[in-house]
Amino acid sequence: MRDTGTRLNPLDLLASLFDSGRGAYALDEAAWRAALALPVFAGLDAEELSRLRGLAQGLLADKAFSGAGGLEMDAAMATTIAAFAVLPVLELEENWYAGWVEVVVYPGEFIFDGEQMDETGVVHHVRHARSGEAMAGGPLVLSWQDVEWSGRGEGFNVVIHEFTHKLDMRNGEANGRPPLHAGMDPAAWALAWQAAYDDLCRRVDGGEDTQIDPYASESPAEFFAVLSEYFFEAPHVLHAEYPAVYRQLAQFYRQDTLARRGQAGIGDNAAQPQQGMGYERT
């Protein structure tokens, strides 16, 4: 049974206000080795692993990692989160996670109870369980239980999901369109993403069972974050479903996760993602 009874408490987000607690944890060697043994890191060569380690150490030094809801945070937990978090920025500049301070970790899913604006600008009161939350300019919140489910090559990674929301927010509110690199074609990006989003929404609305988590149809921002999870966790699924989006993400992250795993052309023998996970993370 997943823990859904803990309410997100604004008082747990104090490090973001006072810039305290940064660099409290050094990289834990045992946790680092355990993380790198997970399928999501498969295929990284020695030079990439060395750079990944340096980025993780930098993230641990730059962010405050705080336990909440009764969770006692430790270096092993912080290391695991950092390992997942820096994979998307392995080939990007180090400052993509700049501008905010704190990672708050609850034991399990937490209750979000507050105001939320929809795509039309209408503000609604919402109350539901979430496994993650990324706040523009503020902290990032995670469920440790969901962190432990991440990295298995099944299309789910709550850390990558929330940290890619932070990438999306680099040019304002999360909208599924992060700042693109020089040389990337904004029109090609928009065409690939809109066609894929419309397709998934149509299929989900029609009651179809989809290989991509239907939560991705919630909004363009969630579509970007969920498909980023698949790009790193289950790239063969993303490439099979939306190859044009895969190519755009390969350009954006400057990584070819299919080639890295030697999975180009793999079909039914490839690991398939778990169905019905649908965890609320925003």
Q: Is residue 79 part of a domain?
A: yes
Q: Provide the pLDDT for residue 269.
A: 37
CA angle at residue 164 from 52 to 263, to 5 degrees? 65
Q: Provide the pLDDT for residue 21.
A: 81
Predicted structure pTM score: 0.84
Q: What is the mean pLDDT of residues 176-204?
A: 97
Q: Is residue 32 part of a domain?
A: yes
Give the strands of the sheet with 132-134, arranged side by side: 64-67, 102-106, 140-143, 132-134
Q: 103 versus 124: which is more confidently predicted?
A: 103
- Split into its structural domains, the chain has a count of 1
Q: Is residue 44 part of a domain?
A: yes
- Enclosing domain of residue 132: 6-165
Q: What is the mean pLDDT of residues 111-127?
A: 55
Report the CATH number that the domain containing residue 129 is assigned in CATH.
Answer: 1.10.472.150
Q: Is residue 255 part of a domain?
A: no
Work out the pLDDT band at 2, boundaries 50, 70, 90: very low
Q: Provide the pLDDT for residue 78.
A: 98
- Over 80: is that where the pLDDT of 130 sits? no
Could you count the other beta carbons within 10 Å of the beta carbon of residue 22? 15
Q: Is residue 138 part of a domain?
A: yes
Q: Is residue 177 part of a domain?
A: no
**Nearest-angstrom CA–CA distance, 256 and 247:** 9
- Strands 102-106, 140-143: pairing is parallel
- Over 80: is that where the pLDDT of 114 sits? no
Work out the pLDDT band at 134, boundaries 50, 70, 90: confident
Q: Provide the pLDDT for residue 7.
A: 59
Q: What is the mean pLDDT of residues 74-95?
A: 96
Q: Is residue 246 part of a domain?
A: no
**Nearest-angstrom CA–CA distance, 164 and 230:** 12
- Over 60: is that where the pLDDT of 143 sits? yes
Q: Is residue 45 part of a domain?
A: yes
Percent of the chain exceeding pLDDT 90 equals: 71
Which neighbouring-strand residues pair with 190?
Answer: none
